[in-house]
């Protein structure tokens, strides 16, 4: 089977690597010639081009460009595809993309591999990125079961655990566990930059260790991706940020009023609740 990947970056490159290991022939399209050559040299793709016509022979296509160009890229691709090709995307926000692409292509299923890193571009691609990670697929009630099964099977072959929900449910859930954490983590880094005593700031930078590394990781990642999450999932992100602000206000009140019992109750509840999210 020929699998086309458009956008040879962190996610597209990682997919190419794993799919070739699975024995698929991978055809890669990216924006820059340099990236195409690098993908060939690394063995991430069998063929690479900046020209979408390379995907004439594709049986299955993954759209892995930044969110803002997924729909326009697909519109440029349509004329090269044979009518039974299965198409999926890996965008971090689903509702608008799924609605639009489903109306353009009957064999489209939205997808979102819940895997990534703070890196960007092909240099950030890694083998086995999806192993043991959730991979959410978001078909519409009108999507054929055969198409859903094919996307599901491929995601399972990457070693991912596949979940299925509506695009709206996906966007509301990931606002909590993916998009809100990016904004919270970014605010944490920004807050540290408010320290205006140079020596204290220098000490803080020197003393930062595992706790700061963990809590700042997603806020220090790909800025373009963060902006796209906010732009495409604006309403859900604002809802979660509003709730988060209330939580912060309650913590401030507890500490101002030296209400250590209330603070301990909150931290005990979060100590137990974390296990539900991080297995
Ligand atoms: P990325 O590392 O920046 O890779 C995207 C690549 O797409 C770029 O390196 C660029 O390659 C290429 N590209 C850009 N515009 C293009 C165009 N018009 N046509 C063809 N190629 C184009 O981004 P990513 O993190 O892999 O994210 C890609 C998608 O995956 C996004 O939709 C994102 O929402 C989703 N996603 C990301 C993560 C994550 O944590 N990073 C996780 C899950 C899903 P060249 O310019 O080098 O050719």
Annotate 15-72 with DSSP letters as a single string: HHHHHHHTT-EEEEE-S-HHHHHHHHHHTS-SEEESSGGGGGG-SEEEE-S-GGGHHH
CA of 251 to the centre of ligand 1 (A): 38
Q: What is the three-class DSSP state of 140? A: coil
Ligand 1 neighbours, Cβ below 6 Å, are: 6-12, 29-32, 35, 64-67, 69, 73, 90-92, 112-113, 116, 120-121, 124, 222, 225
Report yes or no: 6 and 73 within 8 Å, Cβ to Cβ.
yes
Q: What is the pLDDT of residue 279?
A: 84
CA of 191 to the centre of ligand 1 (A): 29
pLDDT digit string, tens, across residues 158-172: 999 999 999 999 999
pLDDT digit string, tens, across residues 226-258: 999 999 999 999 999 999 999 999 999 999 999
Average pLDDT over the chain, rounded to an integer: 97
Backbone angles phi, psi at 180, to 5 degrees: -60, -45
The token duo for 41 is 């040299």
The DSSP 8-state label assigned to residue 2 in this structure reads: E
Q: Considering the entire predicted model, what is its pTM?
A: 0.96
What is the spatial distance between Cα 94 and Cα 122, in angstroms, rounded to a whole number? 23
pLDDT digit string, tens, across residues 97-126: 999 999 999 999 999 999 988 889 999 999
SS3 content of the chain, % helix, strand, coil (to 5): 60, 15, 30
CA of 150 to the centre of ligand 1 (A): 23
pLDDT digit string, tens, across residues 22-67: 999 999 999 999 999 999 999 999 999 999 999 999 999 999 999 9
pLDDT digit string, tens, across residues 188-200: 999 999 999 999 9
Pocket test for ligand 1, best of 54, 66, 135, 181 (most atoms within 8 A of CB): 66
Could you give the count of Cα atoms lying within 13 Å of 196 in the half-sphere of its Cβ? Answer: 0
């Amino acid at each position: 089977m020929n699998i086309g990947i458009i956008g040879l970056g962190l996610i597209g490159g990682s997919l190419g690597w794993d799919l070739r290991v699975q024995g698929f022939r991978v055809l890669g399209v990216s924006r820059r010639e340099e990236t195409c050559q690098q993908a060939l040299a690394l063995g991430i793709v069998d063929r690479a081009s900046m020209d979408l016509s390379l995907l004439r022979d594709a049986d299955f296509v993954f759209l892995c460009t930044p969110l803002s160009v997924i729909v326009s890229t697909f519109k440029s691709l349509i004329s090269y595809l044979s009518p039974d090709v299965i198409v999926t995307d890996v965008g971090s926000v689903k509702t608008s993309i799924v609605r639009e692409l489903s109306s353009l292509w009957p064999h489209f299923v939205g997808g979102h591999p819940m895997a990534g890193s703070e890196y960007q571009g092909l240099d950030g691609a890694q083998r086995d990125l999806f192993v043991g990670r959730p991979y959410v697929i978001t078909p519409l009630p009108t999507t054929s079961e055969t198409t859903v099964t094919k996307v599901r099977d491929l995601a399972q072959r990457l070693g991912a655990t596949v979940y299925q929900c509506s695009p709206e449910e996906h966007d509301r859930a990931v606002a909590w566990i993916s998009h809100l954490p990016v904004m919270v983590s970014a605010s944490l880094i920004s807050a540290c930059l408010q320290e205006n005593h140079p020596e204290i700031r220098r000490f803080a930078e020197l003393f930062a260790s595992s706790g700061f590394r963990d809590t700042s990781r997603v806020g220090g990642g790909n800025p373009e991706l963060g902006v796209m999450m906010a732009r495409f999932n604006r309403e859900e992100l604002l809802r979660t940020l509003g709730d988060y602000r209330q939580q912060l206000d309650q913590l401030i009140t507890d500490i101002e009023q030296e209400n250590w019992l209330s603070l301990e109750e909150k931290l005990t509840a979060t100590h137990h609740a974390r296990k539900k999210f991080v297995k």
